[in-house]
A and B are shown apart, each in its own frame.
Chain A
């Protein structure tokens, strides 16, 4: 069996057997479910709380000396508790036996007295009292119950938004909408890419740092040349990335298949996924991930101890941040800086998709940027293998830059030897 493949398989299997790897894969799903779950529960709880507040006893003391009015009100709504005078009503309110009291001696000029500041409760009280007032006024005007019932029918009036003139299909085919969606997709891709590369940069550096720290490296490179080890590591970590992306790819495919008759789902498949734009996004992402693994492997090989890993990948983290913020910045500006950054290998993987999404970069230029990035990736990988070979047996406490300089010097010196 090819030694590079044996190393790749070992890297993959070693990590695939850890809980942390699967937690890393599933965590975003839980995060998503948790966020929406909490939101849903919070909304439900808020509604329930609101309902419970409004459902509190809305008993209202109604003051009237007229026995017929008292009887009518009692029949009209069970919340009404007729009393004989204001004093009695005030006592009931003070003792929290009622939410409010209303003096019905003057039906045309009613005042609801309450100590409940809740707006919804007040509205409910107002609704009950207004209904009773209307009923009593109608009775005074000699309107029959049947006529009153007709008058009480909810009005059949509809609202129409003058702006709402497009169907969903028309809206989706609108170029501006399409542009906004492409922009959203590219920014979403940048966001996802940011987290993937940060996570895997640390995994790679940790993996190599621990092999150096525990001195396994010497045994490994006495079994297979360092360059095989380097390529094996890259392939092994790429297999992990494939599982990560594959998991979400399957989730997306299942989701889109389930909602295949949905207009939005169809739009996503035909107008987003099956387009050159999406292909660009995927290719730029793939290139960025490979860059990350290669650079993290080179930097990780400069570790001396297991815990050196995160320290060594700091320069890569800065590059990733530069790409990420460059992409956010290019959303609002198409200036010379972001134009230049969109051609710089690795950084371009963050910025170019955003620019293509916004229409600041056409397909031809995007392809050029992608090719520059791929060529540079090839060179970095080739020289990375040499750097890796010189780094893996070097142990130093110097800064990452001094270690790099030392490593380059070592390569030159070894190359001078026949």
Chain B
């Protein structure tokens, strides 16, 4: 289990991370979101002991984390980098050896991972021969090849097309099944929503959101209604508790509420004539919550 306990990091007068606390149990995935400069990378660097916390502690299975734990960590940095002139095989073995693995144990696994991530190329190929997408997959294999128990992924989906993002998502879910603790940052809220058990949103180093994704969304109330009916935005705009309404390109009317109770009045109005194909009252999406929180003044 990974635990951050009241961790604070400052750089001179700037507070990069303030009083950050969270736990990730084995087999759980935690998403760390926030705008650029929110403190995500500093959090990862504190976890990797690149930086020392001014206050607070970080524990791995009850022991303060140290460089001795590097062998159980798999880290994918935001900006990817491998040796372009080395073969895929040579660099994967090098990185695995640095994680305390033996060459003979690693070599058979290379084929498995290359097949799993559908890397187009031979393991004897120099990395520079591969496409950017395939190079990214090799980097991800380097992160996972040594069966890490704690996986840190900094913007793992950036630069990946939807197919490869799906492959990566499956890979992360497999780690979860194997009981690894996974912490990752992303600007893509769909990915976060789909695979995270827990979520933390940082803003200027402060924790502005924390908890299970579904609970966070529900805490904002069911303030979004999507309906297919004869109603127009003008029909609902005067109802109390309605903030605004607009029609999507596919004809679906979206009504934004300030009070979720207004949903009943809209439902009654829409079904006055009988059957309608869709009435869906939802909490705001994670992306909407992100925008709301990112734009709000610091709490």
Contact = CB atoms under 8 A, between A and B. Distances in A.
Contact of B98 (A7, A214, A217): A7
Interface string B1-23: 00000000001100000000000
Contacts of A211: 81
B142 interface: yes
Interface residues of A, number: 25
A225 B70 CA distance: 9
Interface residues of B, number: 30
Contacts of B80: 215
A110 interface: no
A219 B139 CA distance: 10
Interface stretch (B44-52, B108-116, B268-276, B286-294): B44-52
A219 B83 contact: no
Question: Interface majority SS on A: helix, strand, loop or mixed?
Answer: helix
A412 B31 CA distance: 33
Contacts, number: 64
Contacts of A215: 77, 79-81
Interface in B86-119: 86, 94-95, 97-99
Interface of B: 11-12, 45, 48-54, 67, 70, 73, 75, 77, 79-86, 94-95, 97-99, 142, 152
Nearest to B81: A215
A6 interface: yes
Question: Interface majority SS on B: helix, strand, loop or mixed?
Answer: loop
Given A6-B94, A14-B83, A219 B11 contact: no
A216 B48 contact: no
A410 to B, nearest CB: 9
Contacts of B99: 223
B82 A214 contact: yes
Contacts of A3: 98
A222 B70 contact: yes
Given A219-B142, A221-B48, A224-B98, 5 more contacts: A10-B94, A14-B85, A219-B77, A222-B48, A417-B53
A38 B151 CA distance: 62
A96 B83 CA distance: 72
A67 to B, nearest CB: 88
A222 B75 contact: yes
B12 A413 contact: yes
A214 B45 contact: no
Given A14-B86, A215-B79, A216-B83, A414 B98 contact: no
B83 to A, nearest CB: 7
A414 B95 contact: no
Nearest to A214: B81
Contacts of B81: 211, 214-219
B50 A221 contact: yes
